[in-house]
Amino acid sequence: MSKPRILIARAVFPEVVEHLSLHFQVESNQEDVLRSPAELAARLVDKDGALTTGSERIDRSLLAACPRLRIVANMAVGYNNFDVDAMTAAGVQGTNTPDVLTETTADFGFALLMATARRVTESEHFLRAGRWNKWSYDMFAGAEVHGTRLGIIGMGRIGQGIARRGAHGFGMDVVYHNRTRLDPALEAECKARYVAKEELLRTADHVVLVLPYTADSHHTIGAAELAQMKPTATLVNIARGGIVDDAALAQALRERRIAAAGLDVFEGEPQVHPGLLEVPNVVLTPHIASATVGTRLAMANLAADNLIAFFDGRGPLTPVNTPAVRTITPSI
């Protein structure tokens, strides 16, 4: 029997391509060419499976154009690039990469919080521009981190990791808001207290967003929520673009209605709202929260293992849906 055909949609570690080639007929994209939805569909038309990143949209029209496709393994924990209902209806399995990136991403959330509160990049730009000619008592005086109140919106695995770092490492008073409350044992371990979103926004010194992007979480933070925050507060988004209204945030930062923001994700990325590029009180990074070599390799390997397990008949390791079996259209 011939090996199933898969597409690796974007460049990945060469060893992952080699490993997958033992199991599949692989079309890779090591040149990392960005493809339009129509070009992606054209590549997937004769494929049984795909390894994607958050940049490839798997929706109804792509699924209709690719009748052989049975599984899409996302190299990301978030999967808002999947139309899960459409995939389930079409009988296409989706998988993601939870757990392997939790601690690394929580580390980065904390790094961004620290850089934002303590004005790390702003002061570095000042120094590199040759503007440091004397020390002064209030130069780049930022916000305290230790002992302050940390508010986390979205208390999944990564949110819990950030809570632990804040509570145990920095003596912070951690409050959180989530669709569902954690069980008391987990709350105690994270030293985190559940509060309403409004109380969190009104009282936290630092607000970190770690919730998944869905229609319900679109613009969780907009002008009204920014107005509820303390003028001294910082806001960190390591979740997804679209959770924050970037235009409203740029305006709030410009008018100093909050002190500063740290953003790893953006509406319409890799485009960044021009208003955010103009203000000094924001730390901007290009969606790198999970970017350590070890973690990205673990994510790629988990995505690959999902494909292998699925076609071996063992079932996917980390499924995001439970579709009925897709009837494969005969070879084209």
Binding site for ligand 8YV (CB under 6 A): 53-54, 75-78, 101, 290
Indicate the DSSP class of residue 165: I
The answer to whether the CB of 81 falls within 8 A of the CB of 55 is yes
Among 10, 177, 287, 326, the one annotated catalytic: 287
State which residue, 72 or 101, has the beta carbon closest to ligand 8YV: 101
Q: In sequence order, what E strands does the chain have?
A: 5-8, 25-27, 49-52, 71-74, 93-95, 149-153, 173-177, 192-194, 206-209, 234-237, 260-263, 282-284
Residue 11: CB minimum distance to ligand 8YV, A: 12
Q: Which amino acid is at 113?
A: L
State which residue, 10 or 119, has the beta carbon closest to ligand 8YV: 10
State which residue, 176 or 266, has the beta carbon closest to ligand 8YV: 266
The residues that bridge with 51 in the sheet, in sequence order, are 8, 73
Residue 78: CB minimum distance to ligand 8YV, A: 3
The answer to whether the CB of 76 falls within 8 A of the CB of 51 is no
Among 103, 189, 199, 269, the one annotated catalytic: 269
State which residue, 80 or 148, has the beta carbon closest to ligand 8YV: 80
Residue 31: CB minimum distance to ligand 8YV, A: 18
The answer to whether the CB of 254 falls within 8 A of the CB of 280 is no
Query: Pairing mode, if any, of strands 93-95 and 234-237?
Result: unpaired
Q: Which amino acid is at 219?
A: H
State which residue, 73 or 172, has the beta carbon closest to ligand 8YV: 73
State which residue, 104 or 178, has the beta carbon closest to ligand 8YV: 104
Among 119, 240, 296, 326, the one annotated catalytic: 240
* CA dist., res. 18 & res. 202, Å (int): 52
Residue 77: CB minimum distance to ligand 8YV, A: 4
Annotation marks residue 240 as catalytic: yes
Annotation marks residue 128 as catalytic: no
Q: How far is CA 200 from CA 112, 179, 209, 230, in A?
A: 19, 14, 12, 10
Tokens of 163: 């809570």
Annotation marks residue 206 as catalytic: no
Residue 216: CB minimum distance to ligand 8YV, A: 18
- Ordered DSSP codes for 88-151: HHHT-EEE---STTHHHHHHHHHHHHHHHHTTHHHHHHHHHTT---S--TTTT-----TTSEEE
Residue 232: CB minimum distance to ligand 8YV, A: 29
The percent helix, strand, coil of the chain (3-state, each to 5) is 35, 15, 45
- Locus of tokens 């409350």: 181
What residues act catalytically?
240, 269, 287
